[in-house]
Amino acid sequence: MGDRAINWKQNLNVLWFGNFIAGIGFSCISPFIALFIGQLGNYSTEQVSILSGMAFAAPFLVKMVVSPLWGILADKYGRKPMLLRASLGMAIVIGSMSLVTSAWQLIVLRLLQGIFSGFISNANALVAAETPKDHVGHASGKLATGNVSGTLIGPMIGGLIADTFGYRYTFLITGIAMLTAFFLSVFFVHENFKPIERKKGEKQPHFLSGIPTKQILFGMFLTTLFIQATNNSISPILSLYVKQLDPTSTNIALTAGIIQAINGVAMVSIAPFFGRLGDRIGSHQILKFGLVFSMGIFFLTTFAQNVWELGTLRFFIGISDAALLPTVQAILAKYSPHDRISQVFSWNQSFQAAGNVTGPMIGSAVVLIGGYRGVFIATTILAGINLFLVRKNIKSIEIDKN
């Protein structure tokens, strides 16, 4: 039992770092993607906008489709092999982006980056499978901070590296960091994997079929999609909103990057607390609190008058994220059958990718109708819909607790 305790904590620490780097890898290009593409050819402003959008969305669209496949393979052959496949593949692909000479080469590599996804979902599945049940909430909470904080802080780190060393070095340094995660996973991540033996000719069960908790699991998938959509709806207009609030500033990009990273800082700091609290009072209670709290903060953001108020409110959004995303991971871990846990987390990653794509689209569309502040009204409504769905889908959890 002592060795197991050491292993799950070691797994958690190593995979937190891997999730952090993977999150950075998917987001570090966002501050300068249009500027970088503009350097790769003689493109018009309209062409740069289209190519930038394609490059931004490419990995998320592919990840949305292929993630369930990696989940099936992980449940069949083990999560650690999938971690090594994803980390090594991403290291090579992201590092290769430093060598591109055209926008289309960058887009193709971004598509490949989506194919080599799966590190985060399999890290979640491995930690959920190897962690003692009474520590799952805490472990899931800590692990989720790696991915989310990497995704949120990535734009600031990418912009800093690009300003200091050049755009291409951002990809090179991120690739090297992902290669480090690969070697750490090889030597320091341990898995007690025993494949489920099936009778000859027995087929792999269809997704969620025969699972008593399938309503809870599917409800968490939808919750993940809505959380990601609300978080990312501001992404396309954040720098423009900052400029509107502070038109005399000469550091709009840096200010926007800091504001975008603030909620990541809050989440890293507070998520472990919510994880431990969820283990005591029930993860579903933390989830409901996070949604109600986020609705209030999104609504108040509509009335922000300066960047300081916006930054403070984004910090509070980080608190709501700390209550939401890790809690979803903990509920998935607790209510997933052991032989299909990787599939569950992979499907959740697909819904997460869908939220990453639809959120910015919703934000951009709402701006045309209701302006920048209208985005936060729309986001408040989305959070309210999410709360309604959560209350409907977790009734069986509340019955179990009572």
Cα–Cα distance measured from residue 393 to residue 218, given in angstroms and rounded to the nearest whole number: 8
C-alpha gyration radius of the chain: 20
Give the three-state DSSP class for 264.
Answer: helix
Cα–Cα distance measured from residue 373 to residue 303, given in angstroms and rounded to the nearest whole number: 8
Domain ranges of the chain: 2-191+210-401
CB–CB of 127/58 below 8 Å? Answer: no
Task: Please write the tens of the pLDDT for every residue from 119-162.
Answer: 888 888 888 888 887 777 778 777 877 877 787 778 778 777 87
For residue 3, name the pLDDT band (cuts at 50, 70, 90): very low
Name the amino acid, one letter, at 95. G
- What pTM did the predictor assign? 0.71
Task: Please write the tens of the pLDDT for every residue from 15-46.
Answer: 998 888 888 877 777 666 777 888 888 888 77
The answer on pLDDT for 186 being more than 80 is yes
| DSSP letter for each residue of 83-132 | HHHHHHHHHHHHHHGGG--SHHHHHHHHHHHHHT--HHHHHHHHHHHHS-
Q: Which CATH number fits domain 2-191+210-401: 1.20.1250.20, 3.40.50.2300, 3.40.50.280, 1.10.10.10?
A: 1.20.1250.20
Cα–Cα distance measured from residue 330 to residue 338, given in angstroms and rounded to the nearest whole number: 14
Q: Is the dihedral of CA 226, 228, 231, 236 positive or negative?
A: negative
> What integer best gives the mean pLDDT of the chain?
81
Task: Please write the tens of the pLDDT for every residue from 97-114.
Answer: 999 999 999 999 999 988
